[in-house]
Structure 1
């Protein structure tokens, strides 16, 4: 399991405050071994490519000048967050697709985790324009931690959204991974770990199509199955029952409600990394949840996930 000692932080070019960098440093300081934090920015200005009056060398010089200015700015805004106990570096690249530049840097630097600040996305914007956050959730090869607030509460709670009703190997592996992560991060950040699971509501059409169907019996059976599965999972990882939540409803409703009720500082989600039309129109639970909660979100990929942007992939 990753211990997050090689951390890539995406700079927020629009603000001097850098909550993602603050969280990265918090993780790094709590590490039991030496950590390295890289502060990263991808920039691009189409006007520099269109200046036909300039030679190639002159355009290159202008780009280097812009990159140098950004490096100086990043070094300045980072000063309040860094200290001598943590290795720290700044890197700026010229690239017209930020998410591709970020993921290339993850591969190139062998980073354990990617940390980025986020904001509440408009629903239409999320679907039509597919913001950088969504690209990173789907395609980054490492865990992605999206930061909403710079302040970390006292005695925080961290939630792992597990899917205990499934017998799918991918979900089972993700459950184990999420529980290990919530335990590790809770110990590292002085938090209390919780496991949260949502189970489905009885479909209304079944009672119409099957008059003899008893929805109450069905609901009790489903709840019983989820409670039994949650018990097995928590016992496997040594978590007490009082730190588990099993509720009826959709994950995109139950997770935000539980996070709010427990005043969670972070929610850990599994994301299957879907792409194409299924991701645009259906999306992952992680993507539905992110806009509904006001805390950090850590998205994990299933074991064996291969990014479509992996440079080692053969065409």
Structure 2
């Protein structure tokens, strides 16, 4: 079973309602953990102050960092309601995702929590948002939260690829369900499994007239259903809480999450980077903008972050 003993909470200073911190405190009430409230700041104007020496600029930056740290301490005083051990960290960095990922690695955190919101799709391709970078590059689980409550007796939806024969994907499936069951325990909720399977390739049906598309689709569905039922059995999840749906994951997962009124979706991401990430993206990235609930994204156990510490 998974345990989030050290949580890194990323603060967005532009928010009035600090969703990430609220979610971390809510989790700590149900599962004791240490929380570090993290803020990364950068002001280009300080770098461009040519009239000041390097040492003078450093002094000014440190003054800003100290001011923000005092602000974090006051924020914690206003929101803290239990005996959770909370520390603060403020860093000066012009790439938030990089500073967050480095902090997660150096501090050996078990979980990063960050608030999120809907992105403009075109802008996201050209200027990748911080949370997309985290989904690709942060080695530890990333919980992206939206502005909603976590009521009791809700549902946690684990998105898996049950029909795969790939060993790394199979291992990731177990990690996804393991984390989903842990979070369901915190939420006092049920764990559901969702598996999207690909539709019949239309080009085959056109090019090969004798190709039986109905039989192909039926065999594909049965294959995924059998594989998903085995996964469910391994985690003592009732078969009536498994969902096999034809279609693309980025369409199917949000649809089932809405149907179930799930509070959390747990998904794996391979951390695709470079041109392929810009043009194709990752399933988790496509899913999150269509979800009205939180998303917990996991990397494969053998994932190595491209961010060097």
TM-score using structure 2 length: 0.97
Cα shift readout 1:273-301 (whole Å, capped 9, x = no counterpart) = 11111111111111110100111000000
| Alpha-carbon distance in 2 for matches of 1:182, 1:175 | 11
Once the two structures are overlaid, the 10-residue window that deviates more, 113-122 or 77-86, is: 77-86
For the pair 1:156 / 2:154, whether they are aligned, the reply is yes
1:268 deviation in Å? 0.5
**What residue in structure 2 maps to residue 4 of structure 1?**
4
| Alpha-carbon distance in 2 for matches of 1:191, 1:230 | 20
Unaligned runs of 5+ residues in structure 1 are none
1:184 deviation in Å? 0.9
Helix, strand or coil at the partner of 2:73: helix
| Alpha-carbon distance in 1 for matches of 2:34, 2:193 | 30
Helix, strand or coil at the partner of 2:257: helix
**What residue in structure 1 maps to residue 205 of structure 2?**
207
Cα shift readout 1:108-152 (whole Å, capped 9, x = no counterpart) = 111000000011000011110011111100000100000112422
1:272 deviation in Å? 0.3
Helix, strand or coil at the partner of 1:264: coil
TM-score using structure 1 length: 0.95
Cα shift readout 1:237-279 (whole Å, capped 9, x = no counterpart) = 1111111111111111110010001111110010001111111
Aligned-residue Cα RMSD (Å) equals: 1.2
Of 67, 70, 77, which aligns to 2:68?
70
**What residue in structure 2 maps to residue 25 of structure 1?**
25
| Alpha-carbon distance in 2 for matches of 1:76, 1:136 | 27
Of 127, 135, 138, which aligns to 2:136?
138
Helix, strand or coil at the partner of 2:186: helix
Report if aligned partners of 1:5, 1:28 keep a CA contact under 8 Å in 2. Answer: no
**What residue in structure 2 maps to residue 173 of structure 1?**
171
**What residue in structure 1 maps to residue 250 of structure 2?**
252
Count of aligned pairs: 309
Report if aligned partners of 2:2, 2:182 keep a CA contact under 8 Å in 1. Answer: no
**What residue in structure 1 maps to residue 118 of structure 2?**
120
1:230 deviation in Å? 0.8
Report if aligned partners of 1:271, 1:286 keep a CA contact under 8 Å in 2. Answer: yes
Report if aligned partners of 1:139, 1:309 keep a CA contact under 8 Å in 2. Answer: yes
Change in Cα spacing, 1:2 to 1:162, as seen in structure 2 (3 Å) is same
1:228 deviation in Å? 0.6
**What residue in structure 2 maps to residue 56 of structure 1?**
54
Helix, strand or coil at the partner of 2:3: coil
Of 267, 279, 282, which aligns to 2:280?
282
**What residue in structure 1 maps to residue 192 of structure 2?**
194
| Alpha-carbon distance in 2 for matches of 1:203, 1:175 | 25
Cα shift readout 1:169-219 (whole Å, capped 9, x = no counterpart) = 121011111111111111122121100011111111111111110100101
